[in-house]
Chain A
Amino acid sequence: KAGVTQTPRYLIKTRGQQVTLSCSPISGHRSVSWYQQTPGQGLQFLFEYFSETQRNKGNFPGRFSGRQFSNSRSEMNVSTLELGDSALYLCASRAGLSSYEQYFGPGTRLTVT
């Protein structure tokens, strides 16, 4: 079974631009979560989607948004990029809302200049 895939793996953007990151979960998994990892703040939860609905949201500004498609693939969008948005963005999938294990992708490294 293929693991969680994320595209692109690396991205460089300029302040003020917007960016869209993509995540394909493990086949059959219906829940997708997004996390931001920075050296200063560690791993922080952004949001979770299940059956195309946002189920839970972390403490991030509205510039961070996401969506999930009917095939469970998910996208995350960050608008009006700031330097502090430079981070590793990780996507994780799990089979369902009561599943214990989350499977993480390799992440997208976003650099904002």
Chain B
Amino acid sequence: DAKTTQPPSMDCAEGRAANLPCNHSTISGNEYVYWYRQIHSQGPQYIIHGLKNNETNEMASLIITEDRKSSTLILPHATLRDTAVYYCIVDQTGANNLFFGTGTRLTVIP
């Protein structure tokens, strides 16, 4: 079921940009890339999604390579509250059966 590959853990210094990579080499043309995060003991939180173009919102930026086989989530100025498990998911439009995988545990260090 795993359509994405993410590093199990990463550290980032507070105030610096956090760049979280994701490989999705088997992505289909109609599949979107979604990012969610889960802070300890809370439900997952939607961050951003994209199809082909780079996307930016108030939380993060999503950079998708031209061949769509990989992407990077960028948190421009990481804070301690960004410490969480980040999940990269590929799925079709409107699909709800999200496969979360194991994600990347990001630790923001003071």
Contact = CB atoms under 8 A, between A and B. Distances in A.
A104 B97 contact: no
B96 interface: yes
Contact of A103 (B46, B93, B99, B101): B46
Interface stretch (B10-18, B37-45, B63-71): B37-45
A55 B96 CA distance: 10
Contact of B43 (A48, A99, A101, A106): A106
Contacts, number: 51
A8 interface: no
A107 B39 CA distance: 13
A90 B44 contact: yes
A94 B96 contact: yes
- Of B49, B93, B97, B102, the most chain A CB neighbours within 10 A belong to B97
Contact of B97 (A42, A56, A94): A56
B94 A98 contact: yes
Contact of A99 (B45, B94, B97): B94
A48 B97 contact: yes
Contacts of B94: 97-100
- Of B49, B93, B94, the most chain A CB neighbours within 10 A belong to B94
A59 to B, nearest CB: 10
A58 interface: yes
B86 interface: no
Contacts of A102: 44, 46, 96, 98
A103 B45 CA distance: 7
- Of B34, B44, B49, B98, the most chain A CB neighbours within 10 A belong to B44
Interface of B: 32, 34, 42-46, 49, 87, 93-94, 96-102
Given A43-B44, A43-B98, 10 more contacts: A33-B96, A42-B101, A43-B87, A43-B100, A55-B96, A92-B96, A94-B96, A100-B34, A102-B98, A104-B44
**Top-9 shortest CB links A-B:** A104-B43, A43-B100, A98-B94, A101-B46, A45-B97, A48-B96, A104-B44, A33-B96, A90-B43
